[in-house]
Amino acid sequence: MRKVELYDTTLRDGAQSEGISYSVQDKLKIAHKLDDLGIHYIEGGWPGSNPKDMEFFRLIRRKRLKQAKICAFGSTTRARLSPAKDKNIQSLLKANTEVVTIFGKSWDLHVKYVLKTSLDENLNMIFSSINYLKKRKRKVIYDAEHFFNGALDNFDYAMNTLIAAAEAGADILVLCDTNGGMITSSVVDIIRDVRTRLSVPLGIHAHNDSGMAVANSIAAVEEGCSHLQGTMNGYGERCGNADLTVSIANLKLKLGMECISKANLEKLTETSHYVAELSNMRHNNNHPYVGESAFAHKAGVHINAMVKHPLTYEHVRPELVGNARRFLLSELSGRTLIMLKAKQLKLGFKKDAVHTKKILKLLQDMEHQGYQFEAAEGSFDLMIKKAFKKYERFFDLQGFRVIIEKNEQGEVVSEAAIKLKVDNIDKYTVAEGDGPVNALDSAIRKALLEFYPALAKMHLTDFKVRVLDEKAGTAAKVRVLIQSQDAKDSWGTVGVSENIIEASWQALIDSIEYKLIKDKR
């Protein structure tokens, strides 16, 4: 079985994503998670460009990693400057890592317009930088920036830059599609040409500007590259880097390559979501392998077939990558699923058209208003119970009032007052909170706790707000999704309104009612 080394640059190239900014603590956490997943190299940052990165290298040295090697990243020395006098090269040494990654120019256009030096001097810079680091006992990975563009424009010169790096002792030569515009067939052709002329191990570093970074990386491995660079979830400048989560799954499950263990592959989905969270990025539902919808079936015919044989509409078993199969509730999902749901709810339905139609109609009406039940099965259950009069009230709301006040000193206070009846007993409570929704949450709990002490064991784990018709400005409708859990279960609820407080209230109340019904069963 061929082996492929994985090289993660989330902490450096990934941090170039619009919207991403890591603290040193974030970086340390992500590095540990990548090590857990079985990544071989973790690029920690560019110590020469960023003082925060140097701090990372200082702190990570004290940590024990399972197998990952930390790499410091930097450029070749400046034109006509000895590496010994180059600040950037010196900060690479200061980072004190076993492995150093150096990038140099392969494309004559860059040498001319950006470096503004001669083609020969560029070869010299590549050679002297790598040679200097090799003499100081570093393992050197050479990133040949813009290699594919360079090869298309001036193949001989691009090859000469690789040869200079190889002669200086670089351990791996990484071919970079820095602008991300290559198509797969060009990548294949160019790597074949390079392989006839060089025997140093090759790597691939692809960007995604033509939407092919993963395909180009996988093709490169098929053509003999034994080192693959990328970022978690494909983070990176512009359209991002090759997505390491997807590449790893493809290497293991499609090419049968040795890279991470089968047991670690099962951590893939969790790792991907963990990094998204620390990166403060929304995780894409349709993300291959690791997305919330990656194995979610919605079309009626698909659900029908999946019940007969899971291979019919799944390319791999979701458990292999730690993901799970889901069937989605929507007007398209058809009778099979609606009946399945009704059965779960024990509503004692007959499998007749009248009931199914009524539920489908309800779903359509609610979806039309902006509700979505795919992540809010709690609200879906309550809606059906209400529609079929299987619903009992736990309390009657008389009203609430939320006040948010800001004073001259800029201090803001939120207060919520709630009036309700439980078993004909009046309750009138008031609470403050971190914002109006938090105040409401506290006030309703205060009111209900003596009647339903189990509510103390339930808490909110997730709160999401989506503006539905963004163009309506501040009068836009919003959808609020709340995820709650107790010791045993987790459930989602939803609310929709032009008023964000009312939308949050709906989701909040559904969440509490769902808990109370669940406990009674």
Q: Rule CB under 8 A: which of 160-189 touch a copy of itself?
A: 178-181, 183-185
Instruction: Write down the least CB distance from residue 1 to a copy of itself, Å.
Output: 17
In whole angstroms, what is the distance from residue 462 CA to residue 471 CA?
A: 26
65 binds a copy of itself (CB under 8 A): no
Q: Is the Cβ of residue 12 or residue 139 nearer to a copy of itself in the bound state?
A: 12
Question: Which of these, 170, 62, 160, lies nearest to 108 by C-alpha position?
Answer: 160
Q: Is the Cβ of residue 139 or residue 207 nearer to a copy of itself in the bound state?
A: 207
Q: Which of residues 480-519 bind a copy of itself (CB under 8 A)?
A: 482, 497-502, 504-505, 508
Question: Which of these, 355, 362, 363, lies nearest to 328 by C-alpha position?
Answer: 363
Q: Is the Cβ of residue 266 or residue 502 nearer to a copy of itself in the bound state?
A: 502
Binding pattern for the stretch 368-397 against a copy of itself, x by CB under 8 A and - elsewhere: x---x-x----------------------x
352 binds a copy of itself (CB under 8 A): no
| Residues 276 and 30 sit within 8 Å (Cβ to Cβ) | no
Q: Strand 202-206 and strand 425-433: pairing?
A: unpaired
Q: Is the Cβ of residue 158 or residue 437 nearer to a copy of itself in the bound state?
A: 437
68 binds a copy of itself (CB under 8 A): no
Instruction: Write down the least CB distance from residue 27 to a copy of itself, Å.
Output: 14
| Segment interacting with a copy of itself (CB under 8 A) among 64-72, 91-99, 259-267, 399-407 | 399-407
Binder to a copy of itself among 250, 272, 356, 379 (CB under 8 A)? 250
Instruction: Write down the least CB distance from residue 90 to a copy of itself, Å.
Output: 18
| Residues 502 and 370 sit within 8 Å (Cβ to Cβ) | no
Instruction: Write down the least CB distance from residue 16 to a copy of itself, Å.
Output: 5
Binder to a copy of itself among 67, 118, 261, 312 (CB under 8 A)? 312
**114 CB contacts (<8 Å, ≥6 apart)?**
105
**Angle between helical axes of 500-520 and 436-448 (0-180°, round to 10):** 30
Q: Which of residues 197-216 bind a copy of itself (CB under 8 A)?
A: 208-212, 214-216
**269 CB contacts (<8 Å, ≥6 apart)?**
289, 290, 321, 322, 323
Task: Kindly provide the b/e burial profile for residues 64-93, where b requires at least 16 CB atoms within 10 angstroms of the residue's own CB.
Answer: eeeebbbbbbbbbbbeebebeebebbbbbb
Give one DSSP letter per residue of 223-255, joined into a string.
TT--EEEEBGGG--STT-B-BHHHHHHHHHHTS
Q: Is the Cβ of residue 297 or residue 341 nearer to a copy of itself in the bound state?
A: 297
> 411: which 2 tokens?
């201090």
| Residues 334 and 303 sit within 8 Å (Cβ to Cβ) | yes
In whole angstroms, what is the distance from residue 223 CA to residue 191 CA?
A: 7
Instruction: Write down the least CB distance from residue 448 to a copy of itself, Å.
Output: 16
Binding pattern for the stretch 455-474 against a copy of itself, x by CB under 8 A and - elsewhere: ----xxxxxxxxxx-xxxxx
267 binds a copy of itself (CB under 8 A): no
Q: Which of residues 69-98 bind a copy of itself (CB under 8 A)?
A: 75
In whole angstroms, what is the distance from residue 121 CA to residue 81 CA?
A: 10
336 binds a copy of itself (CB under 8 A): no
Binder to a copy of itself among 65, 160, 300, 358 (CB under 8 A)? 300
117 binds a copy of itself (CB under 8 A): no
Q: Which helix (H) or strand (E) holds 70?
A: strand 69-75
Instruction: Write down the least CB distance from residue 342 to a copy of itself, Å.
Output: 21
48 binds a copy of itself (CB under 8 A): no
